[in-house]
Amino acid sequence: MNGRIVHIASNTFREAVRDRVLYNLIAFCLLLSAAAILVGQISIDIEKLVVINLGLTAVSLFGIVIAIFIGIGLVSKEIEKRTLYTVLSRPVRRWEFIVGKFFGLAGTLVVNTFFMAIGVFAALLYVAHHFHKPDAWILVALYFIVLQFLIICALALLFSSFSSPLLSAVFAFSLFVIGSFAEDLRGFAGMAHGLSRWLATGAAYLVPNFSALNVIGSVAHEHPVAGPLIFYNTAYALTYAAVALCGAVLIFEHRDLK
Amino acid sequence: MMTASRRTTTVASLLLVGCMLAAVILLRRVDQMRTTATLDEVLYITSPKALKRLSLGYEGLVAEIYWTRAVQYFGTKHYQHTQHYDLLATLLEITTALDPQLLVAYQFGANFLAPPPPHGAGMPEKAIQLMEYGIRNNPNDWHLYYDLGFIYYMDKRDYAGAVGAFERGSRVPGAHPFMKVLAAQMAQHAGELQTARMLWLTTYQTTQDKQIRANAVAHLRALQVDEDVATLQRAVTRYGEKTAHLPPSFSAMVAAGVLSRIPIDPDGHTYKLMPNGLVVVRMPDDFPFIEKGLPPDYQPPPLPKLPVSD
C-alpha cells in the first residue's frame, strides 16, 4: 500500500478516536456485564446463549452504526471544513483519499471489534467458567461481522461521495436492512415470472447479502462453520466492498469540488 | 461568594435530582391507579414469521428475549394461581420458530404447558405439538422423544402414544439404552405406579439440570407418599371389616394384624389418621405433587416447595 494511503488511513483512525468513537466500548461492557449477571436470574438455562447472541449482535449493531455515521461524514466533513482542498493540493490523488479513508474507518472498526471480542470472551468465561473447543467458532462469527463492516464502510463512502450526510445515512441503513432480507429477495425471485423474476433476481444480486455473513445463531449452538463458507464469504465481502469502493472513487474522481 | 456559574451548576443539579425523584413518585402513583393494567397480557406481534423478518438476522437474541418472556409469564401466572395461560403457547411457538435449536424451550416449555393447573397450563395437546416441532427440527436428540413420551404418559394418559414416542427415541443413534426398556415396560405395565417411578427415576438420572432433578425428586417423593397412603387406606378398610369400627390409631392397626409396621413418609414423619379413617400427610406443603393423603380443605402455597436435588 502506498505511503499516502497509509497516512490518510492513520489520520482517519486518529480522528475517529479523537471523536470518542471508542466510548461505545463502555456501553458495550455495561450491556454485557448486566446481561451476564441478570439473565441467570430471570430466565432458564440460556446464560451462555445470551452472552454469545447478545455479545455478537451488539458487536455487529454497534459497528454498523459507527460505520454508517462515521462513513457518511468522511468526505462531506472534509469538504465542509475545507480541509479536503488542503489535502488534494498536495500530491495526493482523489482515489488515494477515498481508499485511505476506507482503510482508516475499517481499521477503527477492527480495533473496536477486537476490544469487544475480548469483552464477549470475558463474559463467556464468567457465565460458563471455562471455554469449550466449539467456542472458537465465535471467532469466525466475529470475522464475518468484520466482513460486514467492510461492505458497510465502502457503501457509506460511496453514498458520501455524492450525497448529503443525511441521505447517505438513509441509503446505507436501507441497504443494510434490504441486505438482511437478501435470502427472501432471492426466494421471491424464484417464485416470480417474466420481468418481475429478472428484476427481483437483479435486485437480489445487486444488494449486499448480509444474511450469509450472519452465523451468530449457528455458533451460539456450537455448530461449526464450513471452511468453504469462510473462503467464499471472504471473497464475496472483499469483492463487494471493492465494487462499492470503485464506485466511490469513480464518482469522487469526476465530482466538481469547486 | 458563589460565582454565577457555580450557582447555576448547584441549582441545575438540585433541580435534576429533585425532578427525577418527583418523576419516580408520580410514576408510582400512576401505577397505583392502573392496577389492572397488565402489560404482559399484550402480544403485539403474534406471527413468528413476521418477527423473524423484523429481527434482521438476529433471531437468536430475539428468541432468547421471547423465551425469557415465556418464563416470566409462566412464573407470574403460576404464582397468581391462575387457571388461564392464554399467551404461553404463542410465546413458546414464537421462541422456537425464531430458534428451532433452543432445546431448553421445548423441554421446559412442554413442562409448563402439559401439567394440569396449578402446576402447569393444562394444555397437553399444545405441549405435544411443541415437542413434535422440536423433534422435526432436532431429530437426533433423544431427550425430546423421552419428554414427548413422558407427556403422553403423565398428562395425556395415552399409553400407546408414550410407547410410540419411546420407541422412536430408542432408534436415535446414541439414545439412552433405557429408552428401549421404557418402551417395553410401558407396553406391558402402563398405568402402574412402578412405571411412573421408573420414568421419574430416568428423568433424574439423565439430566444435569438442578431444577429438573429437583422436580423429579419431588415427584418420586410424591409417588412414595401416594403408595404409602393407598396401602394405609387399604389397611384401614381391612381393620373396619375385621372389627366393625374405624381404627383409633396406626398402633391399633398393627396390633390387629392389618399392618406390619407404622409407615413413615419420605421425610421421616408418621402419617396422620383422621377420626373418619382418612389417612393424610402431616406436612402437605413438603409434597407438592401428591394425589393422595391431602388434608381436607388444604390450600397449596403459591409456589411448590421443591426439595434440593443434589
Percent pLDDT > 90 in chain A is 29
Are B274 and B201 in the same domain?
Answer: no
CA-wise closest residue to B200 among B216, B179, B183, B176: B216
CA-wise closest residue to A68 among A169, A215, A208, A178: A169
Q: Does residue B236 have a pLDDT over 70?
A: yes
CA-wise closest residue to B213 among B90, B115, B307: B307
- Check residue B42 and give its pLDDT: 67
Q: Give dist(CA B169, CA A127) in Å, integer.
A: 32
Are B309 and B197 in the same domain?
Answer: no
Partner-chain contact B60 A49, CB within 8 Å: yes
Best residue in B52, B59, B64, B112 for a mutation probing chain A (most A CBs within 10 Å): B64
Partner-chain contact B58 A220, CB within 8 Å: no
Are B252 and B296 in the same domain?
Answer: yes
B58, A53 Cβ separation under 8 angstroms = yes
What digits encode the pLDDT tens for the residues B190-225?
A: 667 777 787 788 878 877 777 778 878 888 888 889
- Check residue A241 and give its pLDDT: 92
Q: Is residue B307 in a domain?
A: yes
Q: Does residue B85 have a pLDDT over 90?
A: no
Cα four-point dihedral sign B273, B274, B279, B282: negative
Q: Kindly state whether B59 is in contact with chain A, defined as any CB-CB distance less than 8 angstroms.
A: yes
- Check residue B135 and give its pLDDT: 95
Query: Which string of DSSP letters, residue by residue, matches B223-271?
Result: HHHHHHHHHHHHHHHHHHHHHSS--S-HHHHHHTTS-SS--B-TTSPBP
Q: Distance (Å) from the C-alpha of residue A75 to the closest C-alpha of chain B? A: 29
Q: Which residues of A touch B71 (CB under 8 A)?
A: 42-44
Q: Does residue A138 have a pLDDT over 90?
A: yes
Q: Which residues of A touch B108 (CB under 8 A)?
A: 44-45
- Check residue B56 and give its pLDDT: 86
What digits encode the pLDDT tens for the residues A180-203?
A: 888 788 888 888 888 888 888 888
Partner-chain contact B104 A44, CB within 8 Å: yes
Q: Does residue B126 have a pLDDT over 80?
A: yes
End-of-domain residue from the set B154, B180, B214: B214
- Check residue B129 and give its pLDDT: 94
Are B146 and B87 in the same domain?
Answer: yes
- Check residue B160 and give its pLDDT: 83
| Residues ≥6 apart with Cβ < 8 Å to B295 | B272, B274, B280, B281, B284
Q: Kindly state whether B64 is in contact with chain A, defined as any CB-CB distance less than 8 angstroms.
A: yes
Q: Say which residue, A184 or A227, is predicted with more confidence.
A: A227
Give mean pLDDT, residues A111-115. Answer: 91
The structural domain count of chain B equals 2
Q: Distance (Å) from the C-alpha of residue A46 to the closest C-alpha of chain B? A: 7
A55, A120 Cβ separation under 8 angstroms = yes
How many CA atoms lie less than 13 Å away from A20 in the CB half-sphere? 3
What digits encode the pLDDT tens for the residues B21-35?
A: 999 898 888 877 776
Q: Which amino acid is at B14?
A: L
Phi, psi of A226 (to 5 degrees): -65, 140
Q: Give dist(CA B251, CA B261) in Å, integer.
A: 8
Q: Per mean pLDDT, which range of A168-177, B72-81, B101-110, B174-183 is the poorest?
A: B174-183
Are B231 and B175 in the same domain?
Answer: no
What digits encode the pLDDT tens for the residues A30-82?
A: 787 787 777 767 777 788 888 898 889 989 998 998 889 888 888 888 887 78
- Check residue A238 and give its pLDDT: 94
Q: Does residue B41 have a pLDDT over 80?
A: no
Q: Kindly state whether A49 is in contact with chain B, defined as any CB-CB distance less than 8 angstroms.
A: yes
Partner-chain contact B211 A44, CB within 8 Å: yes
Partner-chain contact A221 B59, CB within 8 Å: no
- Check residue B29 and give its pLDDT: 85
CA-wise closest residue to A174 among A187, A155, A201, A196: A155
Q: Say which residue, B303 or B89, is predicted with more confidence.
A: B89
B 95-124 residues with CB < 8 A to A: 99, 101-102, 104, 108
In the three-class reduction of DSSP (H, G, I as helix; E, B as strand; rest coil), residue B32 is classed as helix
Are B200 and B238 in the same domain?
Answer: no
Partner-chain contact A53 B60, CB within 8 Å: yes
Are B54 and B199 in the same domain?
Answer: yes
Are B207 and B239 in the same domain?
Answer: no
End-of-domain residue from the set B172, B192, B214: B214
CATH number of the domain bearing residue B137? 1.25.40.10
Q: Which residues of B touch A46 (CB under 8 A)?
A: 64, 67-68, 102, 104
Q: Is residue B121 in a domain?
A: yes
- Check residue B95 and give its pLDDT: 94
Q: Does residue B39 have a pLDDT over 70?
A: no
**Cis peptide leading into B266, omega within 30 of 0?**
no
- Check residue A93 and give its pLDDT: 85
A 170-189 residues with CB < 8 A to B: 177, 180-181, 184
- Check residue B125 and give its pLDDT: 92
Which range of residues forms the domain containing residue B272?
Answer: 223-310
Q: Give dist(CA B200, CA A111) in Å, integer.
A: 52
Residue A26 is placed in which grid cell?
A: 463502555
Q: What mean pLDDT is reported for chain B?
A: 84
Q: Which of A149-163, A195-209, B153-167, B290-304 shows the highest mean pLDDT?
A: A149-163
Q: Give dist(CA B3, CA A159) in Å, integer.
A: 49
Res. B90 pLDDT band, cuts 50 70 90: very high
- Check residue B211 and give its pLDDT: 74
Q: Which residues of B touch A181 (CB under 8 A)?
A: 53
Are B181 and B73 in the same domain?
Answer: yes
Q: Say which residue, B40 or B56, is predicted with more confidence.
A: B56
Q: Which amino acid is at A33?
A: S
- If you count residue pairs, one on A and one on B, with CB atoms under 8 Å apart, how many are there? 59
- Check residue B98 and give its pLDDT: 93
Percent pLDDT > 90 in chain B is 23
CA-wise closest residue to B149 among B130, B134, B172, B128: B128
Are B266 and B176 in the same domain?
Answer: no
Three-state SS sequence of chain A: CCHHHHHHHHHHHHHHHHCCHHHHHHHHHHHHHHHHHHHHHHCCCCHHHHHHHHHHHHHHHHHHHHHHHHHCHHHHHHHHCCHHHHHHHCCCCHHHHHHHHHHHHHHHHHHHHHHHHHHHHHHHHHHHCCCCHHHHHHHHHHHHHHHHHHHHHHHHHHHHCCCCHHHHHHHHHHHHHHHHCHHHHHHHHHHCCHHHHHHHHHHHHHCCCCHHHCCHHHHHCCCCCCHHHHHHHHHHHHHHHHHHHHHHHHHHHCCCCC
Q: Per mean pLDDT, which range of A114-118, A125-129, A215-219, A254-258 is the poorest?
A: A254-258
- Check residue A170 and give its pLDDT: 92
Partner-chain contact B61 A53, CB within 8 Å: yes
Length of chain B, in residues: 310
End-of-domain residue from the set B182, B214, B246: B214
Are B83 and B150 in the same domain?
Answer: yes
Q: Is residue B8 in a domain?
A: no
Q: Is residue B60 in a domain?
A: yes
- Check residue A230 and give its pLDDT: 93
- Angle, helices A182-191 vs A165-180, to 10°: value is 60
Q: How far is CA B243 from CA B239, B252, B255, in A?
A: 6, 11, 12
Res. B307 pLDDT band, cuts 50 70 90: low
Residue of chain B whose alpha carbon sits nearest to that of A47? B64
Q: Give dist(CA B146, CA B142) in Å, integer.
A: 6
Give mean pLDDT, residues B158-162. Answer: 85
Partner-chain contact A45 B104, CB within 8 Å: yes
Residue keyed to cell 444474511: A211
- Check residue B18 and give its pLDDT: 92
Q: Which of B33-42, B81-90, B134-143, B193-202 shows the highest mean pLDDT?
A: B134-143
Are B192 and B239 in the same domain?
Answer: no
Q: Is the entire prediction scored with pTM above 0.80? A: no
Give mean pLDDT, residues B266-284. Answer: 89
Q: Give dist(CA A190, CA B49) in Å, integer.
A: 19
Residue B114 is placed in which grid cell?
A: 402439559
- Check residue A20 and give its pLDDT: 79
Q: Kindly state whether B211 is in contact with chain A, defined as any CB-CB distance less than 8 angstroms.
A: yes
